[in-house]
Structures are given as structure tokens and as C-alpha cells.
Structure 1
Amino acid sequence: MSGQRRQEIVIVGGGLAGASAACVLGRAGHSVLLLERDPEPRHKVCGEFLSIEAQTYLAHLGIDLDLLGASRISRLRLFHREKRTETDLPFLARGLSRKALDEALLQRAMALGAEVARGVAVRTISSEESSHQVDASPFGTVHADSLFLASGKHDVRGARRPTSGSMNDFIGFKMHYRLSEEQRAALDGTIEIILFDEGYAGLQLIEDDIANLCLVVTRQRFETIGRSWDSLTEQIALECPPLAETLRGAAMLFDKPLSIFQIPYGFVHRPDTTEPQGIFRLGDQIGVIPSFTGEGMSMALHSGCLAATTYLRLGRRSTSFHQQMAADIRGQIRLAFLLNKAARQHLGQAAIFHLCRTWPSIMRQVASFTRMREASMQRALVPP
């Protein structure tokens, strides 16, 4: 399988950003090679919350969420200690596992003409003015006219992100549960946000009535409790009795939690006019919004669609894409970054909860302020 190969477009990474770009480019008739390091579909650390914007992109790409069994979510419930408040969401959200969604997008990309190579690890990338060389084991060396870098939070040697200024001391965890019938019914239609010391969690149903608990915690607190998932969840349950009640008798569906370290919250790629043209950074390679907003999946899809549309309009002018993408997401990420900074401390959490309980509409406003703007979406969705 190893050797030399020339390719018009290479996409590194088959997650939401990479697969969405492959769909748009394949549908337009371009020669696309997508390299995915995982040989089989797998779960990923993610809240698995699909905002109305994310749903719009998925419909544009031909993904049927009803066919995939996505849950429906219409309410937001916020917990701090034993207290709670809730409100209606400003839209109908959906819940679907990344394992199911990513696979559906990859299958869609292949149906639209993209070539997908699984189990291919990209080791290094080197760029010149007119092309990019990708060292992909065991695929060999690929010379790409244009490169779409969608490797998520993992950097590739030769194309690392400068993430200085971001908040990268959080650890993310995820566990799927099978709840009791009573607790499943209580959670149905709702996403719960749980504030706890030095972190927060989100709990919602996805397909097949499975509950997804996704949380972030500071590295310091995780180390203080002994670097143990069981100890962490026990401590959170003590701080938030309603969560303990929800998980009582629940069956864990993974042998151990999925985890990811050093999440660079607040990162936005700064366009560099000296960077070689034809390398497009997508998804977490261009911006990382704190997970409590539920907009990470939408931004990933937006980046994939916008990058592909920019390529169809302007060719290899990736700087134009980076400038537009930064303008589209910078404000939302900055606001979420500030809220995330406040929410990591007890006093900040108490203040946020007090405001939300006193004026529940604030929760809806925050949800609206961190969403993708309609004008930004139109640039990515309107055919060139």
C-alpha cells in the first residue's frame, strides 16, 4: 500500500469537520482523499448535543437524524449543589453519539465520491508554496495540491497549532449509562448542566435511550482526588445529590471512561499571510469553544462546509478562509471563554446560578449568544 501518490485534495481526519468538507467537495466532483486514523467507528469525548445550527448543516449534507434515532431535547436544567433551575431551550436540539454521526457522515462522503482510507496515521506534514507532502503510514507519501487539516485536538508534526493564551488545564471525560426507567423518563427531553468545584458536566439522552455524561475538570482537582474516575464521580455526586439520584442503579456501558487532556479552550487560529496557501485548518484546529455551550459540533460542521465552499470559489486561497472563519467564531468563543473562566470557581458558579435562577431567560440568551450567526451560515451553505 505504501508508495508515492499525487492528489488534488487530501483531508486529514474523518470527524465532523473533515467528513463534512469531504461531502461538499465530493458532491462538487472534486478528487478527494480522506485519511482517517481509526480503522473502525469509535466513541469520542463529546457532549453529543446538536444545536439547531448543527442540524441545519447535517440536513444540508443529507444526514437524516430521525433515521439515526437521535433524541429530542427541548429543555435546559441547571444544577448547583442541591439547587436547580430550568427553562425551555430557544430551539429543539437533538442528541446523537459521535460514533453513529461520524460514521454516517463518512458513509455519506463516500456516496458522494470521496475516497476514504481508514486506519491511516498521518505522521508528518511538510508544506511548500504549491503543494503539501503528507507522510501517512501505511498509505505512503501523498503529494496534495490542497490539504484540509481536521485532526481535532491532536496536532500533526509539521503543522502544530500555536495555542498560547488558551485555557488548557482541563481534562475531559465521557461515560455512557443505561439508566433506570424512572430516571430515563425524568431526563427525557432535557439536557442537564451540573456545576461542581473546578468543573462542570452535561447529561442528556442520545439514541437508544442511552445517557451521555460528559464532564470537564481541572487537572489540579483530578490529581487531588487521586486521578480516579470513581473518586471523581463520587465527589461530584456528593456535591450534587440530584446527579447521584439520577445515576443510582445506572449501568456503565464502557469499561472505563473516555478521556482527553489539555483541551485548549478559547483557542482561535490567527490567520498568517506568510503561511503557504492551500492548507485549511478545520474544527478544533481553528477554534475550540468551551463545551458547556453545546456549539462545538456546529462550529466543526461550519468550518468543514465553509472551507470546502471557499475552495470551490477561490481555490487554494486558504488565508481567506481562515480570516472569515475567525470572524465567524471569535466573538462566541471569547464570550464562552469568559463564562468558562468564571464557572471553574465556586463563587463564579454561585453567581451564575443565582442569575439564571432569578432570570431564567438569561440561560436562553447565553445559548443564543454563543450560536453560529445566520449570515455566517449562509456563506457556508449557499453553493458557489
Structure 2
Amino acid sequence: MQPVREVIIIGGGLAGLTAAIHLSRAGLYVTVIEKHSYPRHKVCGEYISNEVLPYLQWLDADPAVLSPAPIERVCISTVTGKKVETRLPLGGFGISRYTLDAFLMEKAVHNGVNLLQDTVTNISFVNEQFAIETVANGTLFAAQAIGAYGKRAALDQQLKREFWEKKSPWLAVKAHYRGYFPDGLVALHNFTGGYCGVSKVEDNIINVCYLVNYDTFKNYKNIDEHRKEVLYENPYLKEVFSNSEPLFDRPLTISQISFSEKKKVDQHILMTGDTAGLIHPLCGNGMAMAISSAQLAARQILQGQPRAILEKEYTRNWQKQFGKRMKAGSLLSSIFMHPWLSGMTMGTVVAMPALLPVIIRQTHGQPLTVKHNN
């Protein structure tokens, strides 16, 4: 029989690797199971709020060494081109998942984290320990398990998670480009059936990532036709694409993206990042939330509480930190997907631009606190 490991983390993205670095730093023996190799591009807005910067620095994982693109301003536009721009309350930076995930992986391995490239097929909880079934490494046992495997995976179906049965109409598309886009800016441009984020990452690369309702997308032959017929209706998006050259052979896509409520502790597994809940990309704060949730999970495990208290406290702290943001994100998405409401809201914000930072604060948090006993 395999020995019982202290912590097994399923998924080696932002949340999984950050939690692994935190726990290993505290002296725990951590195993991360990730099915893909590094480095790898992912569908992601690739903007991170500075709220997590003190925490990353505390972990000795300061992204400054990766030369990220500093971002200080945000611009929002409607389909018709009505636009408002303001400074971001905290600011942030752009960094590709290709670069950042590989960087965090190297930090984790350097800390002694055991990284397995494997696929988890099932998880069960018996006699106060987890039995984690994998394709290549058999069944592994752990005292604690963290779920950090992303937005939607076959494992969710195997675990019979409630949201799995709910169909979602959302399709996400992402690609990198080389061309002109202003420094220091993250733009959120609305189009019929969706919205698109544009900002720079390292090496002056432009990241374009958008979310579209599949019912509108399916009326077109392919991504290129949809882009030219629909996204180009917004003059700012047309300008971005017309003045840029793609760096990918073809865009990356993810379908069935679910914004449904998810349990934060499911079958005794502490869920983090998108596995615990996905904020609408319009808010541009998913990466920071993933990192923040990793801190919450690591702190909770390190307190050494009885399982029932650990799970209750993690759920309570998650809701306290992210609950209002999730509701605000859902409301903002609903407004911007409705042409009349979007136009009215943008008209109000254009007339009173001081409102925009107030709206942004509803989906962002304060800088994460770090202590020696974290």
C-alpha cells in the first residue's frame, strides 16, 4: 500500500502551484498532480491585480523577474464604440500563463514539491484519508486534498458535482498577437453576444481573450468569420485586430464554461481557483482570485484543525473574501450583455467617470496580508 502523503493537490495551475509553494514552505510534503507538461498556453485574460503581489513576494515568487507588462488603466467600451477610461485603483500587470505557470512550477519543485504528470480519474474519502486514483501512478493516499484542476474537467463528472449537469452557453477564445496596443492599458470591449479583454503581457505581446454566447457564435462558419462579422462592429476591436498579426497557428478555445455556483468543499476536497467558482472574465480578476484562494486553503490546512471545523472555516472564509465579488461580476456581466442596459450604464459612467473605479472595487480586493506564521 502507498504511504499516506500530507497533501495532494490535483491541478498544477495558478491556484495549485501557489498552494504547493505555500505549504511546502511551511515544511509539509506536497504532491501536485498535473496532466499537462510545462510550459503551456491557456485560455486566460492574463491580467493580475496587484492585490496579490505582496503574497507572491512573500512566497519568494515575485513575478517582476519575468518582466511583466505594468497595467495602470482600464478602458471599457460598448458595441457602438462608446468608451470610458480611468486609472485602476490598485493597478496590476500582464503576464502569460505560458511563462507564469512554468515559473511557479520551478519554484514549487525547488521547494521540494513532488510533481507528477498524470491524470486523476477518481477521488474517494474513507477512514479520514483520501484515495486518489491516477492513470500512471495507481492509487495515492493523502491526509488532505486540494482541487485546483480548472473550470471544468472529467473529474467533476466523476465526482458528480452538481454544476456538471447544467449546460452552459459560453465559449472562450484566446490568442496572442504582435502589433500596436497602448502600454499600461487593459481594455474590455463589448460586442453582440459577448465581451473581449485586450492587454499586453511580457515581451510586448498582446493577449486577446473573449467570451461569446455559443447561440450567437454558431450562426457563423468559424472563428474568423465571427470575428469579422461581429467583433468588428466594435470599432476598438476592429482596430486591434486590423493592426496586429497572430502569433498562434489558431486560437485556443474552451466551451461549456460554467458560472454556476460550485461547492467550495466538495466531498471533503478544498476547492480553489476556478474549481471553486469562476468569476465573469469581464471583471478581469480571475487570476488574482485563484492565487488568493490558494492562500486561504494553505492557511486553513496549516492551522491543523479537525476536519469538520477546517471545512466549515474554509467555506466561510471563501465566501467572506469572494462572495460579493462573484455577485458583482454576475450583475456586471448581465448588464453588459443587454444592449439597452449596457448603453444606459455606459452613458452614466461617461457622464460621471468617478463611478468606474467604484465599480471596479466591487470585483477586486485589498492587498493580501502576509505574516510570518502564515
TM-score (norm 2): 0.92
Question: 1:173 is matched with which residue?
Answer: 173
Question: 2:346 is matched with which residue?
Answer: 353
Alignment partner of 1:77 out of 75, 78, 81: 75
Is the Cα–Cα contact under 8 Å of residues 170 and 257 in structure 2 kept in the other structure?
yes
Q: Which runs of 5+ in 2 are unaligned?
A: none
SS of the equivalent of 1:221 reads helix
Question: 1:159 is matched with which residue?
Answer: 159
Equivalence map 1:196-235=2 (5 Å): 196-226=191-221, 228-235=222-229
- % identity of equivalent residues: 29
Aligned-residue offset at 1:229: 0.9
- Count of aligned pairs between the two proteins: 368
Are the structure 2 counterparts of residues 9 and 371 from structure 1 closer, same or farther at C-alpha, using a change threshold of 3 Å? same
Amino acid of the structure 2 residue aligned with 1:202: G
Question: 1:301 is matched with which residue?
Answer: 291
Question: 1:313 is matched with which residue?
Answer: 303
Alpha-carbon distance in 2 for matches of 1:372, 1:203 = 22
Are the structure 2 counterparts of residues 5 and 224 from structure 1 closer, same or farther at C-alpha, using a change threshold of 3 Å? farther
Question: 1:257 is matched with which residue?
Answer: 251
Question: 2:364 is matched with which residue?
Answer: 371
Question: 1:55 is matched with which residue?
Answer: 53
Amino acid of the structure 2 residue aligned with 1:287: G
Question: 1:337 is matched with which residue?
Answer: 330
Are the structure 2 counterparts of residues 115 and 154 from structure 1 closer, same or farther at C-alpha, using a change threshold of 3 Å? same
Alpha-carbon distance in 2 for matches of 1:51, 1:329 = 14
Aligned-residue offset at 1:102: 1.0
Q: Deviations over 1:10-37 (max 9, x none)?
A: 1100011110110111001111111111
1:247 counterpart = 2:231: no
Alpha-carbon distance in 1 for matches of 2:89, 2:230 = 28
Is the Cα–Cα contact under 8 Å of residues 53 and 62 in structure 2 kept in the other structure?
no
Are the structure 2 counterparts of residues 131 and 333 from structure 1 closer, same or farther at C-alpha, using a change threshold of 3 Å? same
SS of the equivalent of 1:66 reads helix
1:18 counterpart = 2:12: no
Aligned-residue offset at 1:132: 1.0
TM-score (norm 1): 0.90
Equivalence map 1:269-280=2 (5 Å): 269=263, 275-276=267-268, 279-280=269-270
Question: 1:190 is matched with which residue?
Answer: 185
Are the structure 2 counterparts of residues 381 and 100 from structure 1 closer, same or farther at C-alpha, using a change threshold of 3 Å? farther
Q: Runs in 1 of length 4+ with deviation above 6 angstroms?
A: 164-167
Aligned-residue offset at 1:138: 1.1
Q: Which runs of 5+ in 1 are unaligned?
A: none
Are the structure 2 counterparts of residues 169 and 54 from structure 1 closer, same or farther at C-alpha, using a change threshold of 3 Å? farther
Cα RMSD of the aligned pairs, angstroms, is 2.1
Equivalence map 1:14-163=2 (5 Å): 14-80=12-78, 81-118=80-117, 120-155=118-153, 156=155, 157-163=157-163
1:383 counterpart = 2:365: no
Are the structure 2 counterparts of residues 96 and 160 from structure 1 closer, same or farther at C-alpha, using a change threshold of 3 Å? farther
Q: Deviations over 1:112-142 (max 9, x none)?
A: 2211112x11111112241111111212210
Is the Cα–Cα contact under 8 Å of residues 332 and 371 in structure 1 kept in the other structure?
yes
Alpha-carbon distance in 1 for matches of 2:115, 2:28 = 14
Alignment partner of 2:282 out of 283, 292, 307: 292
